[in-house]
Amino acid sequence: MKSLNEALEVLLSAVTPVQEAESLPLTDCLGRVLAQELTSPIDVPAYDNSQMDGYAGVAVEMNNALEPMPISQRIAAGHPGTALQPGTVARIFTGAPIPPGANAVIMQEQAQSLPDGRVKFTEPATPGQNIRPRAGDLHVGQVMLEKGRRLSAADIGLAASVGLSHAPVFRRLKVAVFSSGDELRQPGESLGFGQIYDSNRRMIIALAAGLGAQVLDMGCIPDQLQQTRDRIESAATQCDLLLTCGGVSVGEEDHIKTAIASLGSLDLWKVSIKPGKPFAFGRVGAATFMGMPGNPVAAWVTFCLLIRPYLLAASGGKIAVPRRYRLPAGFDWPRPDGRQEYLRAWVDASGRLQIHERQNSSVLSSVTECMGLVEIPPSTPIRMGETVGFIPYTELS
Ligand code: AMP
Ligand code: MG
């Protein structure tokens, strides 16, 4: 048996990241991996500007005025004013440039405008108050996004904020996905006795697509060796990564192992995690092969813990180890497994971890009804109140 980390080490050392890059409009960049670091060509903001609707002036003048102050100009966003006349203030609005000479803005809620057009302040000003300084966000030449970063919505906003219309991103990894099993029917078909719906393939396609892959849906393979072989051979010529689920344990109808071994090379691992023990890793031609177990939760856990880091690294991305938050257990786990266990769990209102009552690897609703995975080290009983590691789903997305 391999520990999770040993298995990860082997997988990650086999990664050859994609090299080809393309320049895409920012609106097409969500989830894509940056092929070069991005630096800012400008200061953001490019000028000192007002954070409030109010009045711009010189703090010491506004504080010491014995009389209400005259308003010498009106400055709206997008309409710069002129240098401030001494002894006056400028009416100013959020985002408008601070006029030369002014050093503070008093918000309009702290001002009384008089019928004669002057204004009286009810609160004093400190220099710099309510002014967003030039380059307060980014300065010219600053590295703002690193190569290998998977672009989020805020990253795309940041790139747009410095005027970039496109970003250089790596091409997407091509991932082919198969399910396997004679018992599987497709959603939309009718279900006979002894049959179940093929849930895993759609789930795995969604998981891979969510990580930015270009997914090729290869359908479901019956439990029949020749077909399994032919379809895998053809798929391998079209993808970088070939994923299957089911058919990799020790059953007689598990033909995927035999097919892969005859077409290329195959390693069968027992990874010391529960759910998810059997895992197949190999190669067919230029494609890397990974086979997940068939039980839906086992497939999901295996994808998240083993395939996800590989897929991200092979896509040119930086991989961060999913963060484990230490939180108190709101449950007892007196009979631990010898393997490292991943319990579907959530954080309750008092900040304690609660586990789903059905932890069987076939119960997919235990994934959807929870917020993350509790990690129980091998053979380690847990008593209520002890702290354990919790991986929120957001760390796996
Ligand atoms: P296997 O590894 O092929 O023996 O499958 C183990 C269990 O997972 C069996 O109960 C299968 O019916 C189930 N299973 C396999 N593939 C899928 C799938 N694509 N969707 C849902 N369940 C599956
Ligand atoms: Mg099967």
Angle in degrees, CA 99, 100, 101, rounded to 5 = 110
Note the pLDDT of residue 248: 87
Report the candidate in 149, 204, 163 with the shortest Cα–Cα distance to residue 29: 149
Contact call for residues 357 and 370 (beta carbons, < 8 A): no
Q: Which of 178, 185, 186, 200 to mutate to test the pocket of ligand 1 (most atoms within 8 A of CB)?
A: 200
Note the pLDDT of residue 164: 98
Distance CA 33, CA 317 (A): 6
Note the pLDDT of residue 252: 82
Contact call for residues 392 and 325 (beta carbons, < 8 A): yes
Tokens representing residue 213 in the block: 């892959």
What pLDDT, in 10s, does the model give residues 353-385?
A: 999 999 999 999 999 999 999 999 999 999 999
Query: Is 100 touching ligand 1 by the criterion CB < 6 Å?
Result: no
Q: Is the pLDDT of residue 302 over 90?
A: yes
Q: Is the pLDDT of residue 102 over 90?
A: yes
What pLDDT, in 10s, does the model give residues 225-254?
A: 999 999 999 999 999 999 999 988 888 888
Q: Is the pLDDT of residue 311 over 90?
A: yes
Q: Is the pLDDT of residue 115 over 90?
A: yes
Average pLDDT over residues 117-143: 98
Query: Is 319 touching ligand 1 by the criterion CB < 6 Å?
Result: no
What pLDDT, in 10s, does the model give residues 39-51?
A: 999 999 999 999 9
| Ligand 1 atom with least separation from CA of 293 | 2
Going from the Cα of 186 to the center of ligand 2, the distance in angstroms, rounded, reads 15
Distance CA 236, CA 238 (A): 5
Distance CA 242, CA 215 (A): 10
Note the pLDDT of residue 253: 82
| Ligand 1 atom with least separation from CA of 180 | 16
The pTM of this model reads 0.93
Note the pLDDT of residue 254: 86
Contact call for residues 382 and 333 (beta carbons, < 8 A): yes
Contact call for residues 393 and 385 (beta carbons, < 8 A): no
Note the pLDDT of residue 178: 98
Distance CA 308, CA 177 (A): 14
Average pLDDT over residues 205-234: 97
Q: Is the pLDDT of residue 80 over 90?
A: yes
Q: 215: pLDDT confidence band, cut at 50, 70 and 90?
A: very high
Sheet of strand 278-284, all strands in order from the earlier edge strand to the far edge: 214-221, 174-180, 241-245, 287-292, 278-284, 265-270
User: Which residue's alpha carbon is at the smallest distance from atom 17 of ligand 1?
Assistant: 294
Distance CA 276, CA 290 (A): 13
> What average pLDDT does the chain have?
97
Burial (CB count within 10 angstroms: exposed 0-12, middle 13-18, buried 19+), residue 371? middle
In residues, how long is the chain? 397
- Strand spans (E) along 88-213: 89-92, 104-107, 111-113, 118-121, 131-132, 143-145, 166-170, 174-180, 184-185, 196-197
Query: Is 294 touching ligand 1 by the criterion CB < 6 Å?
Result: yes
What's the half-sphere exposure (Cβ side, CA atoms, 13 Å) at 324? Answer: 13
Domains of the chain: residue spans and CATH? 4-17+172-314 (3.40.980.10), 21-44+136-170 (3.90.105.10), 49-132 (2.170.190.11), 325-396 (2.40.340.10)
Q: Among 22-36, 204-218, 222-236, 245-259, name the one with the lowest average pLDDT.
A: 245-259
Q: 138: pLDDT confidence band, cut at 50, 70 and 90?
A: very high
Q: Which of 205, 245, 277, 367 to mutate to test the pocket of ligand 1 (most atoms within 8 A of CB)?
A: 245
What pLDDT, in 10s, does the model give residues 164-205?
A: 999 999 999 999 999 999 999 999 999 999 999 999 999 999
Contact call for residues 37 and 147 (beta carbons, < 8 A): yes
